[in-house]
Amino acid sequence: MRIGEFAQKHDITQDAIRHYLDMGLLVAEKNGGQYKFNEADGKDLDKIMELKQLDFSLAEIQKVLTFQRLSGSNTDVFRNLYLSFLEEKKNEVTNELLKYDKMNDFLKDKIHKIRAEELKECKKLGFPMNSIGILVCPLCQHSLNVSNGTIEKNMIIAANIQCECGYEAIIKNGVYIDEIAVRTKMQNGKKMPTKEEYLEKSSYNYINFLYKGMASLIGYINKYHKEPKYIMELDNCVGFFLLQYIKYLPHDATYILIDYDKDRMMQLKKDLEMYYEHKNFIFLCCDFHRLPIINSSIDIMIDFGMTKNYAQETSEFLPEKVLPLLKQDGLYTASISYFGPNSKDNFKTEKEIKDYFNKEKMLKKLADSYLTEVELIDIGPVFEDNPYNMDIKGMELYQAAYAGKKGTI
């Protein structure tokens, strides 16, 4: 029979048969440019398919068939060779089964541990009692009155906060809430994406680019301030920096987190309660221009791109609002994103955005805010389309990882 009929009979493609012919697995008679297949060829093909199902490679199958043709199938020498092939394959399969059994046990154990963590009773975080002294009215700078409080393990879980000037806030579920500020975080008119959504839209190169910036800021913190009492994070995605830094966070330090989106804050708080041992956190659900923190109380301020986001949202320079909270000689670290030379032409009509992606202008503003630069490194470039949901193509982006000490210049 011809190749088409032979292929149809054995339910295989003609291309596969031609490949087997080229390799010498099949040795059909050729007459006038056409192959003719007989019963013996059919048996060879059956043997090929049988050995393929046993996961033999085509090279191994070629060796079996060639030796069979040399010695005949019903001989001791062939049977011994074939038997050695089968025993070797059986050993491989046995080893694979053992490997997958171990993998299966490992995966079951991991799944069980993760599910068990979800069921365990987690600790409860609240406003630390020993941090009441850093609270101040953001409107008149007078002391705040705390009343009707619920306290558990030296943490305020619920309370009313009032000032004689009329300012009011509450502590609810351990979070300090300025109810006037509470709203959903938006980005370009849409609800800010979750981490899963952000990952889908961002390249691995861009995520790693951000991670390098965080690693540099962590290095500055560990190098320039050994025993901080209060650390304040300024981050558009609350806790994004913290979850990389937390393994270095000093045991006695209190870490302050700020976000006006209560739902995002509560989700971060839940993760910290369930998965991390550190206990000293202050969760502030408020705006940056209404921070209830007394001046000169913060040892370290971490600005992971928040200045840029705040400028786009309010057209204001965030360090001017928050740096009075930093202690004299306190450490300010920042990740400053800026465009490379190949991105300039894209922003001729985007003056405000261009200003806040300009490294020299940002550094000048920081210096004017009485910060003395102690270290600066550039990270990048990364070539990214649309990194901040802006309609820009072929962007060349850098980071300046900055560390400065507060003082007079």
CATH number for the domain spanning 268: value is 3.40.50.150
Taking the alpha carbons at both ends of the chain, their separation in whole angstroms is 95
pLDDT band for position 105 (50/70/90)?
Answer: very high
Asked whether residue 98 is domain-assigned, the answer is: no
pLDDT band for position 397 (50/70/90)?
Answer: confident
**Mean of pLDDT values over 187-216:** 83
Q: Locate all alpha helices (DSSP H) within 54-120, ordered by sequence.
A: 58-71, 76-119
Last residue in a domain, options 84, 102, 118: 84
- What pLDDT does 119 receive? 67
Domain count, the chain: 2
Asked whether residue 142 is domain-assigned, the answer is: no
Region label for 235, one of left (φ > 0), alpha (ψ between -120 and 50) or beta (otherwise): beta
Q: Are 307 and 200 in contact (CB under 8 A)?
A: no
Give just the sign of the alpha carbon dihedral 116, 118, 120, 122. Answer: positive
What token pair was written down for 5? 């009929």
Checking if the pLDDT of 78 tops 50, the result is yes
- What pLDDT does 33 receive? 78
- Alpha-carbon distance values, 216 to 32, 244, 376 (Å): 74, 12, 9
Checking if the pLDDT of 347 tops 60, the result is no
Last residue in a domain, options 84, 110, 141: 84
Residue 32: CB atoms within 10 Å: 5
**Mean of pLDDT values over 159-167:** 97
The rounded Cα 198 to chain-centroid distance in angstroms is: 9
Q: Cis peptide before 381, with omega less than 30 degrees from 0?
A: yes
**pLDDT averaged over the chain?**
88
Q: Are residues 61 and 195 in the same domain?
A: no
Type and span of the H or E element at 192: none
pLDDT band for position 383 (50/70/90)?
Answer: confident
* pTM, entire model: 0.75
Q: Are 216 and 400 in contact (CB under 8 A)?
A: no
Residue 133: CB atoms within 10 Å: 10
Last residue in a domain, options 84, 115, 133: 84
Q: Are residues 399 and 288 in the same domain?
A: yes
Beta strand 175-177 with 230-235 is unpaired
Checking if the pLDDT of 137 tops 80, the result is yes
Higher pLDDT, 121 or 276: 276
pLDDT band for position 409 (50/70/90)?
Answer: very low
- What pLDDT does 384 receive? 63
pLDDT digits (tens, 9 = 90+) for 17-40: 999 998 988 988 888 778 889 988
Q: In this structure, what CATH number is given to the domain that contains residue 33?
A: 1.10.1660.10
- What is d(CA 293, CA 284) in angstroms, rounded to the nearest whole number? 10
Asked which of 164-168, 192-196, 239-243, 294-298 is least confident by mean pLDDT, the reply is 192-196
Domain that holds residue 63: 3-84
